[in-house]
Structure 1
């Protein structure tokens, strides 16, 4: 099983193997995303995220001949690889923290030998141990309230991820996405050039038949498109933040 971004050693949670494992509720997971300039964002998060970050789309997954490559939305935290402009003095400076981060160190994952999703945990995180913290299991081997809440959160995250994949497929079906490049020249002369992401094609959107526009409105995608378009104004803000921190 491969490790998604932010995770070091994601393994299935086992009530026997991890019976004594405890979670430090005071330990921040922000150290895991210091070097990440973007992360997955579910469409349910657009309303909050668009006020803080650029929300863009990227191609994801393997390229298979005869099949189109999937796309996914990302919240952008920095304009360079390894740069997260929203962490300062080990604190998160934005008003919204994506669910992808809030579920850590837990995640649902599909095992290589089947289709079932199981709850996993990142054993590489130093916020886990057997000495101190909140236990994941009680003396009878039953899941603690903390663990049950984490499982519920991760299951809801997966449901929203599925909804997000469906929304992205509709955007692809309507050919509404285009490759985009962001360029900026800072006052000190440094040039920033960011590509590899996709945005809504304004011309393609304007040329949609009325029936398709009504359909997008009724399924909520037209509102999501508007949030995405508004969020792109934060690209210039990130350039200003980058200069201030460098």
Structure 2
């Protein structure tokens, strides 16, 4: 089983093997995202995320068969350099909205045994797990505790929204509006930032859509998501300023 970003050792949660497992739920987990400069963002999150983070698209997986375009996925960007997350400081998240990808930690849904079976998994490397302290994951009768039931519900909703996001991305590809983009900035100290490898909506292509298509995409919600993405790109400059401020503080 491969471990997605943030996770060290994903293990399927088993009611027998882990009957005594507990979680210190009050322990902050965002430090695990301190080295992530971006994470997957579900479409349903665009409304809140666009106020604070750039939302971009990236190519994922392998190229499609029979000339089909390579799949894409949206990301919330937290930093302009690899390994840089400008929103984690002193073990806390310094923004109003925390993406669901980060909130679900230390749990995740994952496929096991190289098959179609999906199970609730936990990061066995997370220091918050114990057999003596914290909230029990299973009741005395072996049934999932209320905490675990709620965690599973959150994960299942995350997966449903991820699937809806995949369908949104398919429609976006059909519209053929995306193009490779580049962000450049020169900071007050002379440092140059150069960020590429992401996709964004091409303004000219968007303006040339037929009127009927424009009406269609706004009625089905895609148009609103495109607008949130476009608005969010203004946060690139804010990230550059945060980067400059962090560098100045470190040098002081």
TM over 0.5: yes
CA positional deviation for 1:114: 2.1
Structure 2 equivalent of residue 73 of structure 1: 74
Matches of 2:142 and 2:220 in 1, distance apart?
43
Structure 1 equivalent of residue 185 of structure 2: 184
Structure 1 equivalent of residue 26 of structure 2: 26
Matches of 2:65 and 2:213 in 1, distance apart?
29
Structure 1 equivalent of residue 97 of structure 2: 96
Matches of 1:122 and 1:238 in 2, distance apart?
30
CA positional deviation for 1:112: 4.2
Encode CA deviations 1:150-200: one digit per residue, 9 max, x unaligned: 000000000000000000010101101110000000111100000000001
Structure 2 equivalent of residue 11 of structure 1: 11
Structure 2 equivalent of residue 209 of structure 1: 210
Structure 2 equivalent of residue 230 of structure 1: 231
Matches of 1:117 and 1:199 in 2, distance apart?
32
Q: Which moved more, 1:109-118 or 1:94-103?
A: 109-118
CA RMSD of aligned residues (A): 1.1
Query: What is the SS of the residue equivalent to 1:245?
Result: helix
Is 1:35–2:31 an aligned residue pair? Answer: no
Matches of 1:118 and 1:204 in 2, distance apart?
42
Structure 1 equivalent of residue 56 of structure 2: 56
CA positional deviation for 1:68: 2.5
Matches of 1:65 and 1:214 in 2, distance apart?
31
Structure 2 equivalent of residue 219 of structure 1: 220
Question: TM (normalized to structure 2)?
Answer: 0.95
Structure 1 equivalent of residue 169 of structure 2: 168
CA positional deviation for 1:63: 3.5
Query: What is the SS of the residue equivalent to 1:36?
Result: coil
Matches of 2:159 and 2:129 in 1, distance apart?
23
Structure 2 equivalent of residue 135 of structure 1: 136
| Number of matched pairs | 246
Matches of 1:187 and 1:194 in 2, distance apart?
17
Matches of 2:138 and 2:120 in 1, distance apart?
14
Question: Which ranges of 4 or more aligned residues in structure 1 deviate by more than 6 Å?
Answer: none
Alpha-carbon distance change, 193 to 160 in structure 1, aligned in 2, over 3 angstroms: same
CA positional deviation for 1:91: 1.4
CA positional deviation for 1:129: 1.1
Please list every run of 5 or more consecutive structure 1 residues that lacks an aligned counterpart in the other structure.
Answer: none
Structure 2 equivalent of residue 150 of structure 1: 151
Query: What is the SS of the residue equivalent to 2:213?
Result: helix
Matches of 1:128 and 1:142 in 2, distance apart?
18
Matches of 2:100 and 2:93 in 1, distance apart?
14
Query: What is the SS of the residue equivalent to 2:57?
Result: strand
CA positional deviation for 1:138: 0.7
Encode CA deviations 1:77-110: one digit per residue, 9 max, x unaligned: 0000010001122211100000001111111112
